[in-house]
Each structure stands twice: as C-alpha cells, then as structure tokens.
Amino acid sequence: MDLQSLFYPKTIAIIGASSREKTVGNDVVKNLVNQGYEGKIIPINPKIEELYGLRVTADIKEVEEEIDLVVVAIPAKFVAENLREAAKKGTKAAVVISAGFKETGNTDLEDELRQVCQENGMALVGPNCLGAINPEIKMNASFGQLMPKLGHVAFISQSGALCTAVLDYAQELGVGFSKFISIGNKADVDEIKLIKYLAEDDQTKVILIYAEELANAREFIDTLCEINRGDNPKPVVILKSGRTEAGAGAIASHTGSLAGGDAAYNALFKQAGMIRASSIKELFDLAQVFARNPLEKATNLAIITNAGGPGVLTTDEATGNGLKMAKLSDNTKVKLDEFLPAAASSHNPVDVLGDAQADRYKYALEVIAQDENVDSIQLIMTPQSMTEVEETAKAAIETKQKTNKPVVVSMMGAATVKPGVDLLNKEGVATTSFPEPGAKSLAQLDKFVAWHKQANQPSLSFNDVDKQKVSDIFAKAEAKG
C-alpha cells in the first residue's frame, strides 16, 4: 500500500467543510489553512461559498483538478458515494472522520467503505477517527487543535480522543513527531500497514501505538521480525489497553472489539520484539529515550548525580529492570578522584555533590563516557542555589555529540530547570523529568537491542512453530472473548 498520498498530499479536499465553529468540518479546514500547509486546500460544501479565505466547491464532482487526499466529515450514509467520486479524481487516500459505522453496529456501511477503497486502490483511514498529521509539511488533516513539533516519533492511536491529549502533553514534554495518525475503526489502514510504511520513513526512529485490540498475530510477528531482523531496525512501543477483565469489558462497550487475552498479547509482543508501555506517561518516556539515542546496548549504566537520594532511587529502578551498575575502571576512578572534592563519590552512582557547578558534571561526563566498562549514562541534577542549569545541559549535549552510548538526562524540578530542559530538547538529548522513568526506558532500549541481536543470529531465528503457538493462544483468547 502506498501511503505517500496520505502523508504527503499536494491537494486535499475536505468533504463536509463547515462554517460553523467547533465542528469537525470547520476544525479540519481551519487547521490546514492556519498551521502552515502549503498544498492546495479544497473545501467542499453545497451551502457555503467561502471559508477561511478559500473558495468552497459545492460537490466533489465539480472539482476540476486531481485530488491526492480527501478528508471526510459528513453523515455515515453519504460517505461511500463521495469516496467513489473522489476515486474518479485520482484520490489515493481518504481519512474518514465520520462516525456511525461498526462502532454503532453499522457493519454493512463500513464494509461498503472498505470495498469502495479496495476497488479503487485508495488507502482508507478510519472511519470514526481524529485524522492525520504530518509535521514535516505542516499538514494537520485532523480536528486536533495543535500542530506538534517535528521530531522522530510516529504515533498511531486507536483512540481519537487520546490523540488530542497526547498532542498537548507532547508540547509540554518536548516530544516531536514524524507522523501522527488516528486510525479509529481500522476498516482498512491498520497498525501493520502503517508499521510497514513507517519502517521506510527516514524521519521516524520509533513507532508508538495505542491499541485496544490487534488482529493477525502471524502477520504482526512476520512484519516486526522482518523489520527488526534487518540492518535498519525500528523499535515499536505499544500501549495495549484491556489488560484486565474489566478493561476488556470496557473495550467491548467502547469499540465493540474483542480485546483478547492479555497473556496472548504478551506472548505476541515478546515474539515480535515489541516494547510494551504500561501507561500513557511511559509512552512519552520511551519515546524520548528511543528517538534520541542510537540503538546501542545500555547494559552497564553509569549514573552521575548531585543528589544521593535520587541516585539511589535510580539505581533501584535500573537494576530492578535488568540493567547493571557499571563497574568503573580504576583509571576512571583515579581521574574522578583527581578532580572531584574529597566528599564526592567516585563509586557508581558518581556523586558530584550538591554544590556541583557545570565543570564537575562536564569533567565526570567526559571521563565516564570514555570508560569501556560503561555502556550508557544517566545524568541526574537537582536544582541547588549554585547549580548551573544551562551550562550543565550544555555539558550533556557535548558528551552526547561525542559518544555513541545512550544518554538520558533527568533535570529534576520544573520552572527552575526549564532552561536546561529546553536546551536538551532542542539539541535532541533524551530527557525525563523524574529520574526513575529514564532508567526504566534505558532498560527497555537495552532489551530491544538484545532482541535485535538475537533475532539476527540465523540459528536462533523465529520459526513457524513459535508463530503457530502464538496464533493458537490468540485464537483461543478471541474465542473466549
């Protein structure tokens, strides 16, 4: 499936453009016009003539040029007919925001949509979704209000409403996106099709998915193994809801999907080398650490901190999740002892003390980054009155630019440390405000790298027996509901 027309359209038609504010048909046009999209925008509505400075076309039949993408926000029963007309204009992708399909019992209508699109080679996103955003070309073909910053994280969500919150959090947390898409009922374009596309997308370094149910266990495993066994692996982080019986029940009531047994999903994720997030917040932490670090092992972690307590808490989190505390080489210890005050600790976690200014951090970072016993580095900083927030951030940025080792910086606090965090975000250094999630995410990175290495050993490749086993568990879980 070619999703170029979805993410890089030169012409977009909005079927159901509206002049009434705070409606979907109005929001989509407003977002396209106001947020910097430079392609052609064609609003379609028989009742109005002008919208946000654009001429409105009465009917899609009357559009004279080719259309790459249509965004649809009209009542469910009129959608199929309009997509047929869109196909005649060469349209290769449709985002159907309209609801009223499978989720309300109208499976026939949804089947019809799928059929129209398949017959015409048109990629169908939705129905019942928020839309799609490509920050690279400032295209916000959704009714979410915010244009995210450009970055390396692709986000795919089965929940539209979650998207609006994620966009808002992302601005605060400094996370940038490569592609952002709400897939709703997944009548056609689903996670697997998007993963295949995003695997080839240079802008994307990590793919995040929020899913309530997944189909095609075997295809999922095949797709992921193919991508991640190659030289250009792309980590996929999934937040899968419905892990409890009550949660699965809530999904049934929400989307009408069968959620499947959670054990089966865990087996699938393990087989496919997928990373499972346990909460919305963890999605962001993982996004930061995966998008901004090379896929290199992080096993032996060195922590540099100006605060003993947070150093201990982070040690707990790191080792509790499978990392080891790096044994610093004698040479490193000697060098640290030479420069740091007597009360500092050259034992890992390296405590540069509460009165550390940037020079101590800079020195410790340089020495530790060169230690062969160290695979990854976490810098922790609490704001004391002598702390140099921005200079310390710059020291971390310099280290990050020189080393191939994964690095996370946790500047603890909020307003006081913001200038440093902003700098780190600008220069693409992974940050987590609280330190424990930084260590946990590094542990996940390490697990992914180990999985990738193992998957690349031909003798240990995943065989059909394994896949069959997961498929069986899946089938059983779905039969049970």
Distance, in Å, from the CA atom of 63 to the CA atom of 11, rounded to the nearest integer, reads 11
Name which of 167 and 227 has its Cβ closer to its own copies: 167
Name which of 227 and 368 has its Cβ closer to its own copies: 368
Tokens of 271: 């087989």
Distance, in Å, from the CA atom of 235 to the CA atom of 291, rounded to the nearest integer, reads 9
Stretch 237-266: interaction string toward its own copies, x if CB under 8 A: --x-xxxxxxx-xxx-xxx-----------
Rg for the chain, CA atoms, rounded: 25
Q: Tell me which stretch binds its own copies (CB under 8 A): 51-59, 200-208, 218-226, 279-287.
A: 279-287
The distance of closest approach from Cβ of residue 58 to its own copies in the complex, given in angstroms and rounded to an integer, is 26
Cis geometry, peptide bond prior to residue 127 (ω within 30 degrees of 0): yes
- Percent helix, strand, coil in the chain, to 5, is 45, 20, 35
- Do 58 and 46 meet the contact criterion of CB atoms below 8 Å apart? yes
Name which of 357 and 456 has its Cβ closer to its own copies: 357
Tokens of 410: 């946790």
Amino acid at 185: N
Name which of 174 and 428 has its Cβ closer to its own copies: 174
27 sits near its own copies (criterion: CB under 8 A): yes
Tokens of 377: 């580095």
| Residue of 232, 279, 331, 468 interacting with its own copies (CB under 8 A) | 279
| Residue of 415, 457, 459, 465 interacting with its own copies (CB under 8 A) | 415
Neighbours of 136 (CB within 10 A): 14
The distance of closest approach from Cβ of residue 2 to its own copies in the complex, given in angstroms and rounded to an integer, is 29
What is residue 314's three-state secondary structure?
helix
Of 222, 193, 218, the C-alpha closest to 207 is 193
383 sits near its own copies (criterion: CB under 8 A): yes
The distance of closest approach from Cβ of residue 323 to its own copies in the complex, given in angstroms and rounded to an integer, is 9
| Residue of 123, 318, 365, 369 interacting with its own copies (CB under 8 A) | 318
Cis geometry, peptide bond prior to residue 349 (ω within 30 degrees of 0): yes
The residues, ordered by sequence, that sit 6+ positions from 116 with a Cβ below 8 Å of its Cβ are 80, 83, 84, 87, 122
How many chain residues bind its own copies (CB under 8 A)? 78
Binding residues among 441-470 for its own copies as defined by CB under 8 A: none
Binding residues among 341-380 for its own copies as defined by CB under 8 A: 343, 345, 347, 349, 351, 354
Q: Tell me which stretch binds its own copies (CB under 8 A): 3-11, 289-297, 340-348, 365-373.
A: 340-348
| Residue of 382, 392, 399, 403 interacting with its own copies (CB under 8 A) | 382
The distance of closest approach from Cβ of residue 224 to its own copies in the complex, given in angstroms and rounded to an integer, is 22
Stretch 34-73: interaction string toward its own copies, x if CB under 8 A: ----------------------------------------
Binding residues among 146-205 for its own copies as defined by CB under 8 A: 146, 157-162, 164-165, 167-169, 171-173
The CA–CA distances, whole Å, from 344 to 92, 221, 260, 371 equal 63, 49, 53, 19
Distance, in Å, from the CA atom of 348 to the CA atom of 304, rounded to the nearest integer, reads 8
Name which of 27 and 188 has its Cβ closer to its own copies: 27
Binding residues among 282-311 for its own copies as defined by CB under 8 A: 306-311
Name which of 135 and 435 has its Cβ closer to its own copies: 435
Distance, in Å, from the CA atom of 311 to the CA atom of 320, rounded to the nearest integer, reads 14
